[in-house]
Structure 1
Amino acid sequence: MATKNPSYTHMRSQNVTDYPNNNTFFLVWNFKENITPSKIQAVFQRVCALVINLNNSALDRFPNSRASCVMGIGYEAWIKLELPKPLPKELKKFEEIRGIKHTAVSTPGDLHFHIRADEKSYAYDVANIISDLMKDIAQCHVEVQGFRYWDSRSILGFVDGTENPHGQDREYFALIDEVDPSYRGGSYLFVQKYIHNLDAWKELSIKEQENVIGRSKEQDIEMDDQTKPANSHSALANIGDDLKIVRDNMPFGSVTSNEMGTYFICYASTFTTVEKMLTNMFVGNPPGNYDRILDFSTTVTGTLFFAPSIDMLDSFSA
Structure 2
Amino acid sequence: MPNDIPEPQAVCNSLTRSAIFIVATLNPGLENASTVRALCGDIDALVRAVGTRAPTGELSCVCGFGSDSWDTLFGAPRPANLHTFREFGEGKRRAIGTPGDLLLHIRADHMDLCFELAAQLMARLGDAVSVVDEVQGFRYFDLRDVLGFVDGTENPRGREAADFTAIGDQDPAFGGGSYVMVQKYLHDMAGWDSLSVEAQERIIGRKKLSDVELAEGVKPSSSHSSLTTIEKDGQEVKILRHNMAFGRPGAGEFGTYFIGYASSPEPIEQMLENMFVGRPPGNYDRLLDYSRAVTGGLFFVPSASLLEALADRNPQLSSNESAR
Please tell me the TM-score bracket, short chain as reference: over 0.9
Q: 1:31 aligns with which of 22, 26, 31?
A: 26
State the distance in 2 between where 1:45 and 1:276 align.
32
Separation (CA, whole Å) in 1 of partners of 2:44 and 2:75: 18
2:198 alignment partner, one of 198, 207, 210: 207
Partner Cα separation in structure 2 for residue 163 and residue 280 of structure 1: 17
Deviations 1:167-193 (A, max 9, x none): 111001111011110000000010000
User: Structure 1 residues 205, 110: CA separation in 2 closer, same or farther (over 3 Å shift)?
Assistant: same
Q: Does 1:72 align with 2:59?
A: no
SS in 2 for 1:135: helix
2:291 is equivalent to residue 308 of structure 1:
no
Runs of at least 4 residues off by over 6 Å? none
The yes-or-no answer on 1:91 pairing with 2:82 is yes
Match of 1:197 in 2: 188
* In structure 1, C-alpha distance between the alignment counterparts of 2:165 and 2:56, rounded to whole Å: 23
- Are 2:271 and 1:280 aligned? no
Deviates more, 1:90-99 or 1:211-220: 90-99
CA distance in 2, matches of 1:248, 1:72: 15
Cα contact 1:8–1:175 (8 A) shared by 2: no
3-state DSSP of counterpart to 1:256: helix
User: Helix, strand or coil: the match of 1:76?
Assistant: helix
Deviation of 1:138 after TM superposition, in Å, equals 1.3
Question: What is the match of residue 81 of structure 1?
Answer: 73
Shift, 1:101, TM fit:
5.7
Mark the runs of 5 or more structure 1 residues left unpaired by the alignment. Answer: 1-5
Alignment length (residue pairs) = 309
TM-score computed with the length of structure 1 as normaliser: 0.93
Cα separation, partners in 2 of 1:163 and 1:99, compared to 1, 3 Å? farther
Q: Which residue does the alignment assign to 1:3?
A: none
Deviation at 1:83, TM superposition (A): 3.2
6, 13, 17: which is aligned to 2:8?
A: 13
- Equivalent position to 2:110, from 114, 119, 122: 119
Q: Percent identity?
A: 41
Structure 2 CA distance for aligned equivalents of residues 79 and 20 of structure 1: 32
> Pairwise CA RMSD of aligned residues?
1.5
2:292 and 2:248 map into 1 onto residues whose CA distance is: 16
For residues 1-318 of structure 1, what are the structure 2 equivalents within 5 Å?
Answer: 6-7=1-2, 10-32=5-27, 35-36=28-29, 38-57=30-49, 60-85=52-77, 87-99=78-90, 102-240=93-231, 241-318=235-312
The 2-side partners of 1:270 and 1:281 are apart by 18
Structure 2 residue ranges without an equivalent (≥5): 313-324
Distance 1:58 1:64 in 2: 12
